Structure 1
Amino acid sequence: MKIGVIGFGRLGKLLVRNISQDASVAVFDINIDTDLVSSMGAKSVCLEEVCKSKILILCVPISKISEVANQIKDHITPDTLIIDVCSVKVYPMEELTKRLPENIQILGTHPMFGPDSAAKSLYGCKIVLCPERVSDKVLKDIQGYLESHGLKVIVSTAHEHDEQIAQTLILTHTIGRTLMDMNSMEMEIDTKGYRRLLKILETVENDSVQLFNDMNKYNPYAKKMRSSLSHSLSKVLASVEE
Structure 2
Amino acid sequence: MTETVGLLGYGRFGRALSGLFSDAGIPHRVHDPKLDEVPPKLQAGSLADLASRSTVLVLAMPVTAMHDALTSLRPLLLPTQLVIDVGSVKVSPVQALATVLGRDIPWVGTHPLFGPASLARGDARRTVVCPNSLHPEATQRARALFERLGCEVTEMTPEAHDALMARTHVLTFFLAHGLVKAGVGKGIPFAPPSFQPVARLEEYARTEVPHLFNVVQSENPYAREARAELLAALTELHQGLEASAKAVRSPTAPPALLDVRQRIDQVDRELVSLLARRARLVRDAARVKSEHGLPFPDAEREAAMLDTRRAWAEHDGLHVGSIDEVFHAVLRLCRDTVNRPDEEP
In the alignment, the residues of structure 2 paired with residue 95 and residue 181 of structure 1 have an alpha-carbon distance, to the nearest angstrom, of 34
Cα 1:190–1:144 shift into 2, 3 Å: same
Q: Tell me: higher relative CO, structure 1 or 2? Use CA pairs within 8 A at least 6 residues apart.
A: 1
Q: Offset at 1:227? A: 1.0
**C-alpha deviations, 1:157-212, integer Å up to 9, x for none?**
11110000000001000000111112233633322121111111343322234211
8 Å CA contact retained: 2:101, 2:107: no
Matched residue type, 1:157:
T
User: Which residue matches 2:7?
Assistant: 5
Matched residue type, 1:82:
V
User: Which residue matches 1:197?
Assistant: 198
User: Which residue matches 2:32?
Assistant: 29
In the alignment, the residues of structure 2 paired with residue 119 and residue 165 of structure 1 have an alpha-carbon distance, to the nearest angstrom, of 22
In the alignment, the residues of structure 2 paired with residue 33 and residue 118 of structure 1 have an alpha-carbon distance, to the nearest angstrom, of 25
8 Å CA contact retained: 1:73, 1:101: no
8 Å CA contact retained: 2:10, 2:60: yes
Q: State the secondary structure of the residue aligned to 2:120.
A: coil
Q: Offset at 1:130? A: 0.9
Does 1:102 pair with 2:88? no
| Residue segments in structure 2 that go unaligned for 5+ positions in a row | 244-345
Cα 1:131–1:37 shift into 2, 3 Å: farther
8 Å CA contact retained: 1:26, 1:45: no
User: Which residue matches 2:62?
Assistant: 61
Larger displacement relative to structure 2 (155-164 or 207-216):
207-216
Does 1:126 pair with 2:129? no
8 Å CA contact retained: 2:28, 2:42: yes
Cα 1:125–1:184 shift into 2, 3 Å: same
Cα 1:74–1:148 shift into 2, 3 Å: closer
Please provide the CA RMSD for this pair: 2.0
Larger displacement relative to structure 2 (218-227 or 177-186):
177-186
In the alignment, the residues of structure 1 paired with residue 190 and residue 26 of structure 2 have an alpha-carbon distance, to the nearest angstrom, of 51
Q: Offset at 1:141? A: 4.1
In the alignment, the residues of structure 1 paired with residue 60 and residue 141 of structure 2 have an alpha-carbon distance, to the nearest angstrom, of 21
Q: What is the TM-score of this pair, normalised by structure 2?
A: 0.64
Identity of aligned residues (%): 27
User: Which residue matches 2:147?
Assistant: 147
Residue 20 (structure 2) aligned to one of 18, 21, 24: 18
Q: Offset at 1:72? A: 1.0
How many pairs does the alignment contain? 237
Q: Offset at 1:153? A: 1.1
User: Which residue matches 1:135?
Assistant: 136
Matched residue type, 2:184:
S
| More helix, by proportion | 2
Larger Rg: 2
In the alignment, the residues of structure 1 paired with residue 210 and residue 159 of structure 2 have an alpha-carbon distance, to the nearest angstrom, of 24
User: Which residue matches 2:168?
Assistant: 168
